[in-house]
Amino acid sequence: MVELLVVISIIGLLAGLGLPAINGAIQAGKKTEVKAMAESIKTAINAFYAEYSAYPTNKDFFKTDAAFYGLMCTSTNTNGANTRGIIFLEVPSKFIKTNGSAIEIVTPPGFTLNKVQSNFFVAIDQANLGYLIPNTNQGSTTLTNANVPSSVAVWVVDPKPPYKKAVGTFQ
């Protein structure tokens, strides 16, 4: 009987030590998934540029909102910049948020800040400077202290502290 209690105690101890490691692995997997989606968005924007010799918007900074989804992910938006109706980006359902008839590209469940799914942020070097300075909204809260040598950057803010850390294509 004592041997059985010792074995059960050892199993309980090992399980208790393993759970935080499992939780950390799950969070790392979600972060990798978000990075992959950010890279897919960046690739779609560059494919749009290759097709039309212009970026999908004339803004230097924007979010992956309903207008972006309609332009990049559907073939019916041919009256705007995507005149050929090319689908540049296919989005897995876990990255889609529906608000009435509007569809947005957001972080998946489990990668949320205060239980809110965040849109991806996109910065485009429209001025051909050769670099970007990612921030959470135009003119505030810089997420990196260095210029990012890229024409397009896509990221979200990591929901785990410190909150100014970005997860995206420029890390």
Helix (H) or strand (E) holding 33: helix 2-52
Round the average pLDDT of the chain to a whole number and report it. 83
Q: Given this model, what pLDDT does residue 45 score?
A: 93
Q: Which residues, 6 or more positions from 15, have their beta carbon under 8 angstroms from its beta carbon?
A: none
Can you give the pTM of this predicted structure? 0.82
**97-to-2, 30, 71, 108 alpha-carbon distances in Å:** 55, 17, 16, 9
Q: Are 134 and 148 in contact (CB under 8 A)?
A: yes
Measured in whole angstroms, the distance separating CA 21 from the mean position of its chain's CA atoms is 24
| 59-82 mean pLDDT | 83
- In the structure, what pLDDT confidence band is assigned to residue 136 with cuts at 50, 70 and 90? low
**124-to-45, 63, 86, 98, 128 alpha-carbon distances in Å:** 9, 11, 20, 25, 9
Q: Given this model, what pLDDT does residue 145 score?
A: 53
Per-residue pLDDT tens digits for 143-169 = 555 677 788 888 888 887 766 677 887
Instruction: Enumerate the β-bridge partners of residue 104.
Output: 97
